[in-house]
Chain A
Amino acid sequence: MANQTLGMLEKALTEKRDGGRKLLVPYISGGLGDWIETIHAIIEAGADAVEVGIPFSDPIMDGPIIQEASQRALDGGITPSAILSELRRNSFAVPIAVMTYYNIVHHAGHKRFARELANSGVSGSIIPDLQLDEGGDWIMMAAENGIDNVLLAAPSTSPERLTRSAVSSRGFVYGVGLMGVTGERASLADSASEIAHRLKECTTRPVLVGVGVSNAEQAVQVSRVSDGVIVGSALVRRLLQGGGPQSAFEFISELRKGIDAII
């Protein structure tokens, strides 16, 4: 694929990956506490992109930690537009992708939502309940506005479908590390390295694994196969416990150090 067709998110991640770096993409819930400051802190600590959650009332792909973060943010009165205008008022050294559920996009309208993302400096979208089957229209509208829409590949995804998802995904391909919802796990599931391996076999796009990647050791383990990791619940738990930007900085630094040591 010619380089100029790459969106901002994919371009940034591909260049870093090709430069020999493992990729680290933390997730944080928009609207939760000092979230903007936290984003700056995790970028400072070595994040290669940041996934910002736009809270939805019915997050069926999320476990208790991200559910609670979303609920707290919603109880505090946060709205999708409020999150996007905060993002617009700030500038960040790495690409920002938003993660939300499809009704938020559907309600705004594809065109309006894509433009709002673009105007806010967002360069990627992740919508877990909008995949290949229903995603065509949004993927196109997003692309027209310079937004890379990331598709997911799960351990249960068939080989034929996995290839199609990897082809249609933009930005990177999100390998779901286990059959389950987001949340911390005591050990890395075997399925995490397996999905990474399957994806690496069929795409040259960056392959990141998320869901159930909870600490530096697990991040290192899966990044030996994948191009990097997405870490959400483990970070958000620290924020829910009142950790603030400083604890986010420390945690992400630890992950960074871990995956940088992979040879």
Chain B
Amino acid sequence: MSIMGAPSSSGRFGEFGGRFVPESLIPACFELEKVFTEAWSDPEFKNEYQRILRDYAGRPTPVTELQRFSDWLGVRVFLKREDLAHTGSHKINNVIGQALLTKRMGKSRIIAETGAGQHGVATATAAALLGLECVVYMGEIDIARQALNVFRMKLLGASVVSVTSGSRTLKDAINEAMREWVASVDTTHYCIGSVMGPHPYPYMVREFQRIIGDEALVQMRQILDGDVPDYVVACVGGGSNAAGTFVGFVDTRSKLIGVEPEGGAAINRGIPGVVHGSLSNLLQDDVGQVQEAHSISAGLDYPGVGPEHSYLASIGRASYATAHDSEVLEALQSLSRLEGIIPALEPAHAIAYVIREAGKTIPLGSSVLITMSGRGDKDAESVAMMLGENN
């Protein structure tokens, strides 16, 4: 039995997870659980999912060994290149799965929340591919800082709804998408973008993302003559690229490390609480109001985290570190200059962690696999501003 197996019938990973949603949505959660469970053991469905990811999205993505970056740090660094998947991030893996399920359920419309816009772009892409109507909810602040992705979604035929309530970022985009889902659940599937939400979402999204870790395990064994990397590192917003990566390595000797933004570190600074449908670590004030996160990375700017990460942290199988905005910006530049790979701000957190810890908690000579969850194009404009570039 894998440490990252299926959750309990009530959707619990240890004590975390569950199904805390308004009554109106409960039947949709049950239906989704049933349809996903059937589809995931249906070879025809799996073939179709894998075929699209191969022929349309460009999988498998390669693992790249970094030469100059490794020389600089004194550790052997490998990147799992989700930035090379169609639409530029790992989000496509999940969305292709959920869009196929939407059709299987006979629904014609798909809605999504997005922070960085990568999940929104991926959802809009899958909707175009499969002929679904698509609406994406995005916080007003994120619309401003990820303008390129907003335009891409529109080009792809999706409508983008600006969310002006509360934090005006990812947290409130999810609130608004859930409210909209309550009103349209008959015809509409809510395509959640990470390993969060009510059961079966955290489990289902992890399964759709496990292709990252399953591929990477085979690739790393080949590169390392049958061995696995000493460290496997991924950034954690909701935690989908990390969960999809970890699941491939959880039953090996690799150390698993998730990297949270300093200003949105639910595992490091939160306590268990319930928001958006599941029980997990959550940044909250002293009476239980959810606090706003603050991160330069729109995709990690979230006060909660997927329940399976709280579980992995609670049993000590994965550990979770944080990275500051300033070291993230530096990491982004270092990788760009040394390797010709411009990372998105999200995976730049994982890179920053490895830069900081190489030769310290990560001994010199170790092998490290980092999930490069997305490419940096979407952030170019805001990074230029932060670096004071005006051209």
Contact = CB atoms under 8 A, between A and B. Distances in A.
Contact of A103 (B25, B165, B275): B275
B206 interface: no
A18 interface: no
Contacts of B183: 179-181
B20 A155 contact: no
Nearest to A60: B178
Contact of B23 (A80, A81, A104, A165): A165
B24 A176 contact: yes
Contacts of B178: 60
Nearest to B278: A134
A63 B179 contact: yes
Given A156-B28, A180-B183, A128 B23 contact: yes
Interface string B171-187: 11001001100111110
Contacts, number: 115
B24 A156 contact: yes
Interface string A167-181: 000000000100111
Among B23, B272, B273, the most chain A Cβ lie within 10 Å of the Cβ of B23
Contacts of B336: none
A157 to B, nearest CB: 6
Nearest to A64: B165
A159 to B, nearest CB: 11
B11 to A, nearest CB: 9
A107 to B, nearest CB: 3
Given A79-B287, A81-B287, A179 B23 contact: no
A157 B27 contact: yes
B190 to A, nearest CB: 12
A82 to B, nearest CB: 9
B328 to A, nearest CB: 27
Interface string B23-46: 111111000000000000000000
Contacts of A156: 23-28, 185-186
B284 A107 contact: yes
A67 interface: yes
Contact of A58 (B21, B279, B290): B290
Given A130-B20, A133-B10, A155-B24, A58 B288 contact: no
A41 interface: no
How large, as a class, is the contact surface on chain A? 35 or more
Contact of A106 (B23, B28, B274): B274
A133 B22 contact: no
B20 A56 contact: no
B186 A133 contact: no
A106 B278 CA distance: 12
B273 to A, nearest CB: 5
A154 interface: yes
B261 interface: no
Contact of A179 (B10, B172, B186, B284): B186
A218 B19 CA distance: 33
A152 B288 contact: no
B289 interface: yes
A130 to B, nearest CB: 6
A114 to B, nearest CB: 15
A158 interface: yes
Contacts of A58: 166, 171-172, 175, 275-276, 290
A57 B288 CA distance: 9
Contact of A158 (B24, B27, B166): B27
Given A58-B175, A156-B28, A103 B290 contact: yes
A240 interface: no
Nearest to B290: A57
Contacts of B175: 58-60
B18 interface: yes
Interface string B283-327: 010011110000000000000000000000000000000000000
Contacts of B289: 56-57, 74
A262 interface: no
Nearest to B277: A129
B179 A131 contact: no
Contacts of A152: 22-23
Interface of B: 10, 18-28, 165-166, 171-172, 175, 178-179, 182-186, 272-277, 279, 282, 284, 287-290
Given A57-B289, A60-B178, A133-B19, 16 more contacts: A58-B166, A58-B275, A59-B175, A80-B287, A80-B288, A106-B274, A129-B22, A131-B26, A154-B24, A156-B25, A156-B186, A157-B23, A179-B186, A180-B24, A181-B182, A181-B183
